[in-house]
Structure 1
Amino acid sequence: MATQKLYAGAKLREVRTKMGHTQKDFAAKLGVSLPYLNQMENNNRPVSTTVVLALASEFAMDVTELSSGDGERLISDMREVLSDPLFEGDKLPLADLQLAASNAPALARAFIKLHQSHRQTHERLASLDEALGREDSRTTPSPWEEVRDFFHYCDNYIDPVDRAAEHFARLAVDARGLQRSAIDALKASSISVSFDDVEPLRRFAPETRVLHLSTRAPRETQTFQLLLQVALTRQNDLLEATLDLARFHTPAARDIAKIGLANYFAGAALMPYATFLASAQSCRHDLEVLSGKFGASIEQVAHRLSTLQRPGAKGIPFFFVRVDQAGTITKRHSATRLQFARFGGACPLWNVHSAFETPGRFLRQLAETPDGVRYISLARDISKPAGRFGAPVRRYAISLGCEVRHAPALVYADGMDTSRASAFEPIGISCRICERKACHQRSVPPLERQLVVDPNLRDVLPYQVE
């Protein structure tokens, strides 16, 4: 079997630019000629084995990054954008999208951003909201979506924040010690902690320097909220520096991102990287075992598994998603080739929707996407009660999964026949870009296909896809 050639020109340019090298200096350090480096950076030639070895030896680079990155995400995002009826008739071949993602990733992101602005403007006009006349007419990404995309394109791994949290966690032995360490750290900043029978999970009163935590919340939630306050108080300079690099468009986006980074710190301190990775590998990624060991919830553990992308010490590339009862995706991240729809719900054939019907149970699924990639997916419902009678119960479902080639490392794959093709259920990203012709759950026709409507025939769908 022929070895697949590696084209990573954009990544080579990025590495060289970050290190401040000219092409001439960089070529010398890699042991190649200047013209050859130029051709590799422009994807006219594949990255040679000599260059890969030089990157590893000279620059201590994790060479797996050459074949990773956001190329697959960019292709998926561009395909979804092009499925908009706005582009009907403008069908770009996959090869063109791959070239754009590898050779001009900044241009591809600008194209996606432009479509977001168009879509948001269209939605505001369509709503006929009376407040439209009072709003700023400039079209910028919504703060929520901008922050979501920031974490999405960082692979949901923020190295400085993750390492700072890991350093803080070394002071504690277990979750109880971690909670005590958090309280002591806040005390050092003249903040006292009060556990009260109140509804808000966390409320900090700046005027009295008192952090109020609800006694109705589970212990892991209390610990998480303590660590979040530690991040906002003791790690503020680090968070602000990270936000400066992100260059958000609006103060609202920056504020939302700061809370996101504080949450990231709390999760990384509760489950410090090296210890958590080793434990996950040891128990074969058993969520319940990890939950008990680290004093974290099932959702926190699943989300943390999807962030283990530290260069040189990467875990299994997982996808993680959370949906509400309407099927709307409220959290999403993927370190795999599977990318979720940016807007709307998830594929109805996915087992994450069935999790609401079987509370308290893990559901397993073998699934295959239209590109032929196979996955193992785990789903479970998550209930978040408010802690008193009559209060609304928030219900979500989460899904965690990876490519099936990692199945031996998962306890959840035991007993599943991953060698049988018929065991894999067909799933997609969204109906508009899914290429399956005879899906019984299809809601709208695929935009890239011609339809045939036969009035004398009624099958599963009222049309046929050419």
Structure 2
Amino acid sequence: MAPAKLYIGRKVRQIREQNNATQAFFAERLGISTSYLNQIENNQRPVSASVLIALADRFRIDIAEISAGENERLLSALSEAFTDPLFDAYSPTVQELKLITQNAPTFAHALITSHQAYRRKSEQLASFDDRLERPGAYPETTPYEEVRDFFHFVDNYIHDLDLIAEALAERLSVGNRDSYLALTTFLESEFDVRTIVGERGEDFIRRFDAQARTLTLNPYLPIATKAFQVAFQIANLHAGAKIEEIAFAASFRSEEAQEICRVGLQNYFAGALVLPYRKFLLAARELRHDIELLAVRFGTSLEQVCHRLSTLQRPGEKGVPLFFARIDRAGNITKRHSSAKLQFARFGAACPLWNAHQAFEAPGKIIRQLAETPDGVRYLCLAVQVNKGLAGFKATQTPYALALGCEISYSDEFVYADDIYVGSGTGFDPIGISCRICERVACPSRAIPPVKRKLSVDHSERGILPYNLP
């Protein structure tokens, strides 16, 4: 099979502009004509191997980065939008959608946002709920969703914050000794903020008093949570200016979204501080992504480890491309990110055949699954149930399932695949992304028909489903 042609005009143009080079100068450095460079930048011609090598040699560009595939997250979101019956008369090909995401990503984002607004308005009209009567209830992306999309489309990696957190972690030897002690000592010595334990019976997690210069923590928090909450406070005091700069540059539509983003960025910094990038990446490789051993080594929770594994997207130092999600008992995905090809649906519930749902049946046990999506991509999927909340018999604890996985080609880097034969075409469970966009026609677990398939009903015969998908 001939290798796929590489159309990366937008990336090449970005590299040229970052170097403040004209097309003539840039083309000369690459050893090609100006007209050829112009065609490359407009995706009229693919990039040759010699041009890729010249980019790497003369502009110190990582070939793996420049030749990476299309933005899977944006392409997935755009593809899902076009499954809506609204676009029945318009069926763009995958190649056409790729051209849009490559050449006009801003237009793609605008189309996705418009489609979200349309869906919300349709849902409001269909349900006649009281939001129609409330002032300010507009059919637009909520502040929370807007922030979620911000992290989604930056690959859940904030480079500047990660570097600041890693430098501080190195200074404090976080990961080499008790992180909680190191962080509380730094908070007091650097910012004159004492960390104290609150009264029994109070249900808060963390409380900061700027005047008294105290950070009060709930006495029944696990030590990993205590360390994370101290790191969160350090984020505000040590990296507050950079957090403010990033949140402002995101140009959110409301102050509410900007505030939510600040919290998200502080959480990001805290995770990067207790699990510093290079040290954690090397440990993940050494321990072959054994999440329990990683949690023990760094004194963190399983959720912190799984989430951090999904953020290892530093250019030139990337970890294994993973998907990560946190799911509640109702099937709501409360956290999500994927640097793998598998992208979570933006609407509707997750596939019921996914092993994440089984985790609630075996608390504390890591469940493994070999799965295949309708596009033929195969995955190693892991799931484990955890509880979040305070300690104590009467304390409320909320169970969640953590889901983590990679494409099967990376499975040899995971201890969980050692006794599983992944080379066979059998043994892979057929899963989808969401029933509303899944094309599997004979799935006994299907909840609703796919939105772009016509239904036929045979009144004389009943199969797995009460309708047929011709």
Under TM normalisation by the shorter chain, which class is it?
Answer: over 0.9
After superposition, residues 182-197 of structure 1 pair within 5 angstroms as 182-187=183-188, 188-196=190-198, 197=200
Report whether the alignment pairs 1:150 with 2:150. Answer: yes
Equivalent residue, structure 2, for 1:104: 104
Equivalent residue, structure 2, for 1:178: 179
After superposition, residues 325-344 of structure 1 pair within 5 angstroms as 325-344=329-348
Counterparts of 2:91 and 2:246, CA distance in 1? 39
- Provide the secondary structure at the position in 1 that maps to 2:437: coil
Report whether the alignment pairs 1:405 with 2:409. Answer: yes
Equivalent residue, structure 2, for 1:261: 265
Closer, same or farther in 2 for the Cα pair 1:111/1:281, shift >3 Å?
Answer: same
Counterparts of 1:139 and 1:453, CA distance in 2? 35
Q: What displacement does 1:134 show?
A: 5.2
Closer, same or farther in 2 for the Cα pair 1:36/1:271, shift >3 Å?
Answer: same
Q: Which runs of 5+ in 2 are unaligned?
A: none
Counterparts of 1:205 and 1:90, CA distance in 2? 57
8 A contact 2:310–2:323 mirrored in 1: yes
TM-score w.r.t. the length of structure 2 is 0.94
Counterparts of 2:455 and 2:221, CA distance in 1? 53
Counterparts of 1:419 and 1:379, CA distance in 2? 22
Q: What displacement does 1:420 show?
A: 1.4
Q: Show CA shifts across 1:259-312 (max 9, x none).
A: 111111111111111111111101111001100000110111011111111111
1:213 pairs, out of 214, 217, 223, with: 217
Equivalent residue, structure 1, for 2:437: 433
Q: What displacement does 1:465 show?
A: 1.6
- Provide the secondary structure at the position in 1 that maps to 2:28: helix
Q: What displacement does 1:49 show?
A: 1.3
Q: What is the identity, as a one-letter code, of the residue corresponding to 1:5?
A: K
Equivalent residue, structure 2, for 1:415: 419
Equivalent residue, structure 2, for 1:234: 238
Q: What displacement does 1:133 show?
A: 4.9
8 A contact 1:382–1:398 mirrored in 2: yes
After superposition, residues 303-382 of structure 1 pair within 5 angstroms as 303-382=307-386
Q: What displacement does 1:80 show?
A: 1.4
Q: What displacement does 1:64 show?
A: 2.0
- Provide the secondary structure at the position in 2 that maps to 1:382: strand
Closer, same or farther in 2 for the Cα pair 1:76/1:268, shift >3 Å?
Answer: same
Equivalent residue, structure 2, for 1:32: 32
Counterparts of 2:2 and 2:82, CA distance in 1? 33
Q: What is the identity, as a one-letter code, of the residue corresponding to 1:215?
A: P
Counterparts of 2:28 and 2:186, CA distance in 1? 49
| Matched length | 466
Q: What displacement does 1:343 show?
A: 2.2
8 A contact 1:169–1:178 mirrored in 2: no
TM-score w.r.t. the length of structure 1 is 0.95
Report whether the alignment pairs 1:50 with 2:50. Answer: yes
Q: What displacement does 1:125 show?
A: 4.7
Counterparts of 1:323 and 1:238, CA distance in 2? 31
- Provide the secondary structure at the position in 2 that maps to 1:211: strand
8 A contact 1:329–1:344 mirrored in 2: no
Counterparts of 2:41 and 2:174, CA distance in 1? 47
Closer, same or farther in 2 for the Cα pair 1:418/1:131, shift >3 Å?
Answer: closer
Counterparts of 2:373 and 2:415, CA distance in 1? 23
Counterparts of 2:376 and 2:43, CA distance in 1? 26
Counterparts of 1:195 and 1:171, CA distance in 2? 26
Counterparts of 2:79 and 2:32, CA distance in 1? 36
Q: % of aligned pairs identical?
A: 47
8 A contact 1:143–1:253 mirrored in 2: yes
Q: What displacement does 1:123 show?
A: 3.8
8 A contact 1:364–1:379 mirrored in 2: yes
Equivalent residue, structure 2, for 1:82: 82
Equivalent residue, structure 2, for 1:295: 299
Q: What is the identity, as a one-letter code, of the residue corresponding to 1:337?
A: K
Q: What displacement does 1:6 show?
A: 1.3
- Deviating more after overlay: 4-13 vs 396-405: 4-13
Counterparts of 1:134 and 1:345, CA distance in 2? 27
Q: Which runs of 5+ in 1 are unaligned?
A: none
- Deviating more after overlay: 348-357 vs 12-21: 12-21
8 A contact 1:140–1:249 mirrored in 2: no
- Deviating more after overlay: 185-194 vs 343-352: 185-194
Q: What is the root-mean-square deviation in Å for CA atoms of aligned residues?
A: 1.9
Counterparts of 2:422 and 2:131, CA distance in 1? 54
